[in-house]
Structure 1
Amino acid sequence: MFSFKALTIWAAASAIPLIFAVSPQAYTWKNVKIGGGGGFVPGIVFNPKEKGLAYARTDIGGAYKLNADDTWTPLLDFADDARWNYWGVDALATDPVQPNRLYLATGMYTNSWDPNNGQILISTDYGKTFTASKLPFKVGGNMPGRGMGERLAIDPNNNAVLYFGARSGNGLWKSVNFGSTWTKVSSFTNTGTFIPDASDSSGYNSDKIGISWVTFDSTSGSSGSSTPRIFVGVASKGSNNIFVSNDAGSTWSAVAGQNTTFIPHKGVLSPAEKALYVTYSDGAGPYDGTLGSIYKYNIATSTWTDITPVSGSDLYFGFGGFTVDLQKPGTIMVAALNSWWPDGQIFRSTDGGASWSPLWAWASYPTMNKYYSYSDSLAPWLGPNYVDGTAGNLQIGWMMESLVINPFDSNHWLYGTGATIYGGRDLLKWDTTHNVTIKSLADGIEETSIQGLISPPSGPTLLSAVGDIEGFVHTSLDSAPATSFLNPKWSTSADIDFAGNKPTNIVRIGTGDRYVPKSLSYLSKN
């Protein structure tokens, strides 16, 4: 989701009369339900110690905490106009020692669109309240490469220690006091070289992506002492991009034998296997990525194995989200970062990547075998509420940089897309009947760019103009709209208004259209 500023949709429970003198009215203000997401969800993180504890981060919509009923609670609704860049969350870390501790690296842009430096938001009460630790550089929650990570990591053996990988060539930073203060790690000198588009005069695509992720090897240390082995991935192509320290960050060296063709997006530890899994793409994401690979690093033997699930003409995407099943060592999953056609793709392996099974496969073109059932009942505007077996229907999703298996429940999985969070609670059926349930599970996450709101004196309570997903007629504030605006259909509704003398006449304008001329007005008379 691309936006200069993110706003939560708010609306009054009663309509506003268009008269000059009115009696005072009592209003109840609350979040309007869209039903799930509305934009890119680049990160989902489960806590490895406390059962059921998970968080999601978004690029312009703040951070959220998972509830027991699969809904999500927003954590950053307190952010006002002066703190609008809190809504761009570039990294998230939940404490593996004291689960009540939560850290968010926030800031919207690293170019001139956001004049503010970033900050680490620190919570000791599961995100109910935060204090801010200011950083001396910008953070890019809505910049290219925002699906990499996590860039923020907590030492699992000494949780007072945190590392944060910065953008823009600012390097690796460390805190030894639970994030209160930060110092640059001077011994780590590689800050990444990849720039998406050096010719971009706006600075949005011409900034260095920087450090991709930080991963502690929890098996190398003991409780109470700083973890000796730390892996760091940086956004570079054609040169070393994965580094390791074996002395708790004092010195660093390139990991021998690594692949340098692509950019490392994720570095995920499998403790029981004593292995580091790395996903690669030829772009920073989340929109790009046409080639990639997956490698498995055996820490004990210092050897790399290419475990990429497809090759040749079947490999037309990079790889993003990756997860390991902590209950079943060797069971792993990976998502295609950007398979725009015929659909997204997710692969699963139960033997550490030696063999893979896909979420869909070709029958005979254009028919696809889709090994899942599908429900978008919580957000019906996402599309048809059934499995479409023909090519070209992006039902699984796109921009899939987040993918997780609940560390306490092998059946429970979640993944983020460019529009919502999907997942289910029967994942182990993948390995038996090879058919799982996929549901929209982002209820409570409203991650949208609001371009306009109106509440006419008659008709629906609220009409919204929304970036990327058109906007909606909200007949109820407590249930998701059935569909977005359709005729005409633009990628973004830029604004909406009604005629004061005839409020049933609604005008909507749009940009980035695919079906009608840009900025063509739509007049409603219903």
Structure 2
Amino acid sequence: MRTDIGGVYRWEEDAKSWHAITDSFDVTESFYIGAESVALDPNDDLRVYMSTGLYVPSGNGRLYISTDRGDSWTHAELPFPVGANNNGRSIGERMMVDPNQPSTLFYGSRTAGLWKSTDNGQNWAQVTSLSSTVMSIEWGDSIPAGIEFVVFDTSTMGSGSATQTIYVGVGPDYASAAGLDKMIYRSTDGGATWEGVSTPLDGGSTDYYIPHVVRSDDEDLYFIFTGGKGPGASGPARLYRYDGNNWDLLRERDPVTGVNAGYSGLSVYGSGSNTKIALGISGTWGTWADKPVIEFSEDAGVTWREISYGKPHTPNEDVSGWIDDVEIDPFNPDHVMHVTGGGPWETYNATDTDPTWNKMVENLEETATLNLTTPPPSASYTLLNASGDIGTWVHTDLTNEPTRTPTGDLKFANGVSGDMAWSDPSYIATIGTRHWSFGSDNPAARYSRDNGLNWTAFGSLPEGVVPGGNLSNASNIVVTSPDNLIWSVANSKPYYSSDSGSTWHATNLPDAAGTYILAADRQNPNKVYAYDHGGNWWGEAGKFFYSTDGGKTFTESTDSNLTLSGSDFDQAAIAVNPNAEGDIWLVDGHSVFHSLDSGMTWTKLEVTASVYGSNPWPDIYGATSIAVGTAANGSTYSAAVYLVGVINSQWGLYRSDDMGVNWERINDDDHEFGGISQLAADNKVYGRVYFAGAGRGIFYNE
């Protein structure tokens, strides 16, 4: 199973659990933690290929190759870009292994046509017999689907001779650029020459995409045509069966005649009149009667019924949105699986009238974590989590999914930042966004007085936070005491409120070169700290400010020891020792700084060092995240300090129990998660630190 930003997983049947096979990717491989296509060798169940690279405009992708089912990897550079997190990421599979000559692979790229390798993916050449066009794509451009799929038309394996009949699909964007006038092309000589395949939809007013193609046991090909790239592709949509000469329409959706939904997932089992077909309906949202999700046919497409929406699901959750892949188990046709934007589901009784579905998510965590905060020991919960796409959550049990979050009309799309009052942790405040259709309630801001069970919307937004707009992930909020908040507006300044957001007032801070990162002193609610990170590595030098009146006015630290570099927001952090007033730790991407007097004077720890290559910016930044939690028994310092950075030329997650004199690496080379960020240390359990992997959700270490 591939994800867009959180790596690739292998299902472990005995454990009934997913196993992440890309957690060994190091911090320099964060761009490659999402997969656009995965290909398996039909002759060798140990060999796996994976194309990676998050975004097309950011440069060429990589091909990772494993000969042990993903336990270890080597890689080769690809001569074209891939877009694991671009629109159209569910299309494919783009990469396929020739089942008869498995040293040969074909790849349908987004911008540069069809490519071929004859040496197990080590080297690639463009298949110019189809097209030599290479599209130039810049940021802001629409990302093309390109060559959408490769299908080998064969039922044989391991013959030693290359498969001769191959089908590929061409998205309308690449077809227009390359001067190709068909949606499907076929080669009968192993890719040396190509001919267009006429379809019933040629010449129509709609530019169709073909997200999935399946070859059945009786050698027919099943094609989905749909009106958008996806994920969540819209209609109109058609499902056809093709026998090499004739097209049979099996299912269609049209905004004129029915729900405007697209087809995306497709799986076929068996042959003849008993062929079973599972069809994923994508682009429908919400809860309403007769909503299509998975349509199932047991008679080769003559009749259909819905088998997912409205059927028993455990837990009882809405299943809608990105139904962009569906699979019938080839060994058990009653076992059907499908994905959503929130992970896969499965049923083992698909042919029953009301199939029962269960989540298939054990050990799967693929979210973009934007902020983590831990409460004081007196709290009834363990962790506050703000994440992209899923909102802000209050964790009370680390072994189960959280349930406390703003719901109903207060529900978030993205959680951006959150904090709690240290004197009364039942008071929590959080900021984020809703979806674009919520007007004045987007951006969104909420507070709770009962540990996250119930939530209330802020009465207003600070100046610079535009109603109906979006909210930068760099925005952050802190709570000094119940009702008293400071909200740092991205690329502007912090504002304070004394009435839970009913009214806001500007602090005296100047507009930031970057964004102010805020931290509240947990021993003295009148003390608040603000760090302007300078914008980016080439920007202004960072600046630190402290307040003694609850965040209304601030004074800049002028200590000459505080020699801050400019850095990105994600490479800068403040951590305040909750057990001692005025005890502050700060990282600027390169170095660690420590103050024991509320930020007036500083010591620079000569412990970390950025790693440079040929660029003026570091290949690996020396110090990017820091957190402070409960101390070890008998420790000479009142807290344990956790750091992400480079110490003695080794990048990793470190802990110090003696105020930064000595550091111990916590993680190992098999657990680097494409990078580690968003540290939050536990204030009850020594040695426990929470952190985010690159698109891999939240982990904790004991």
Same fold (TM over 0.5): yes
Q: CA deviation at 1:80?
A: 2.9
Q: Distance in 1 between matches of 2:411 and 2:355?
A: 32
Describe the SS at the equivalent of 2:401: coil
Specify the alignment match of 1:172 in structure 2: 114
Contact 2:233 2:263 in 1 (8 A): no
Specify the alignment match of 1:473 in structure 2: 394
1:70 aligned to which of 16, 28, 32: 16
Equivalent positions of 1:109-188 (< 5 A) are 109-111=55-57, 115-168=58-111, 170-188=112-130
Specify the alignment match of 1:447 in structure 2: 366
Say whether 1:93 aligns with 2:16.
Answer: no
Contact 2:232 2:262 in 1 (8 A): no
Describe the SS at the equivalent of 1:284: coil
Q: CA deviation at 1:483?
A: 4.4
Contact 1:161 1:178 in 2 (8 A): yes
Higher relative contact order (CA 8 A, sep 6+): 1
Q: Distance in 2 between matches of 1:449 and 1:512?
A: 16
Deviation sequence 1:235-288 (CA, Å, 0-9, x none) = 118941111111111111111345334211111111x22111111111111134
Q: Distance in 2 between matches of 1:500 and 1:176?
A: 62
In structure 2, relative to structure 1, the CA distance for the partners of 1:247 and 1:483 (3 Å cut) is farther
Say whether 1:372 aligns with 2:311.
Answer: yes
In structure 2, relative to structure 1, the CA distance for the partners of 1:220 and 1:303 (3 Å cut) is farther
Say whether 1:464 aligns with 2:385.
Answer: yes
Alignment coverage as a number of residue pairs = 429
Equivalent positions of 1:229-248 (< 5 A) are 229-236=165-172, 239-248=181-190
Contact 2:3 2:34 in 1 (8 A): yes
Once superposed, what is the RMSD of the aligned Cα atoms? Answer: 2.7
Deviation sequence 1:467-526 (CA, Å, 0-9, x none) = 111132222322222344438422111112345666554331112364945243525464
Contact 1:423 1:440 in 2 (8 A): yes
1:297 aligned to which of 217, 235, 242: 242
Describe the SS at the equivalent of 1:313: coil
For the pair shown, the structure with the greater C-alpha radius of gyration is 2
Q: CA deviation at 1:88?
A: 1.7
Say whether 1:409 aligns with 2:409.
Answer: no
* Farther off after superposition, 95-104 or 77-86: 77-86
Say whether 1:278 aligns with 2:200.
Answer: no
In structure 2, relative to structure 1, the CA distance for the partners of 1:207 and 1:421 (3 Å cut) is same
Equivalent positions of 1:430-441 (< 5 A) are 434-441=353-360
Aligned partner of 2:390: which letter? I
In structure 2, relative to structure 1, the CA distance for the partners of 1:218 and 1:450 (3 Å cut) is same
Aligned partner of 1:356: which letter? W
Aligned partner of 1:373: which letter? P
Q: CA deviation at 1:352?
A: 2.1
In structure 2, relative to structure 1, the CA distance for the partners of 1:70 and 1:485 (3 Å cut) is farther
Q: Distance in 1 between matches of 2:376 and 2:105?
A: 53
Q: Distance in 2 between matches of 1:358 and 1:116?
A: 42
Calculate percent identity across the aligned residue pairs.
Answer: 31
Aligned partner of 1:212: which letter? E
Q: CA deviation at 1:187?
A: 1.0
Q: Distance in 2 between matches of 1:500 and 1:345?
A: 45
Contact 2:334 2:350 in 1 (8 A): yes
Describe the SS at the equivalent of 2:212: strand
Q: Distance in 2 between matches of 1:186 and 1:160?
A: 20
Q: Distance in 2 between matches of 1:175 and 1:64?
A: 25
TM-score (norm 1): 0.76
Q: Distance in 2 between matches of 1:293 and 1:192?
A: 30
In structure 2, relative to structure 1, the CA distance for the partners of 1:95 and 1:440 (3 Å cut) is same
* Farther off after superposition, 80-89 or 237-246: 237-246
Specify the alignment match of 2:342 in structure 1: 419
Contact 1:191 1:234 in 2 (8 A): no
2:429 aligned to which of 507, 512, 518: 507
Q: Distance in 1 between matches of 2:98 and 2:151?
A: 9
Q: CA deviation at 1:202?
A: 4.3
1:313 aligned to which of 257, 262, 279: 257
Q: CA deviation at 1:296?
A: 0.9
In structure 2, relative to structure 1, the CA distance for the partners of 1:297 and 1:438 (3 Å cut) is same
Which runs of no fewer than 5 residues in structure 1 stay unpaired?
Answer: 1-55, 361-369, 377-384, 387-394
TM-score (norm 2): 0.57
Specify the alignment match of 2:296 in structure 1: 348
1:269 aligned to which of 202, 210, 215: 215
In structure 2, relative to structure 1, the CA distance for the partners of 1:486 and 1:349 (3 Å cut) is closer
Specify the alignment match of 2:276 in structure 1: 331
Deviation sequence 1:323-343 (CA, Å, 0-9, x none) = 011488621111112123533
Describe the SS at the equivalent of 1:522: strand
Q: Distance in 1 between matches of 2:292 and 2:132?
A: 33
Q: CA deviation at 1:125?
A: 0.5
Q: CA deviation at 1:106?
A: 0.8
Deviation sequence 1:194-223 (CA, Å, 0-9, x none) = x9xx9xx842x5232211111111237762
Q: CA deviation at 1:192?
A: 10
Q: CA deviation at 1:289?
A: 0.9
Q: CA deviation at 1:191?
A: 6.6
* Farther off after superposition, 175-184 or 399-408: 175-184
Aligned partner of 1:211: which letter? I
Contact 1:192 1:209 in 2 (8 A): no
Q: Distance in 1 between matches of 2:196 and 2:71?
A: 40
In structure 2, relative to structure 1, the CA distance for the partners of 1:253 and 1:517 (3 Å cut) is closer
Describe the SS at the equivalent of 2:101: coil
Contact 1:472 1:481 in 2 (8 A): yes
Contact 1:317 1:339 in 2 (8 A): yes
Q: Distance in 2 between matches of 1:418 and 1:190?
A: 35
Contact 2:184 2:198 in 1 (8 A): no
Which runs of no fewer than 5 residues in structure 2 stay unpaired?
Answer: 452-702
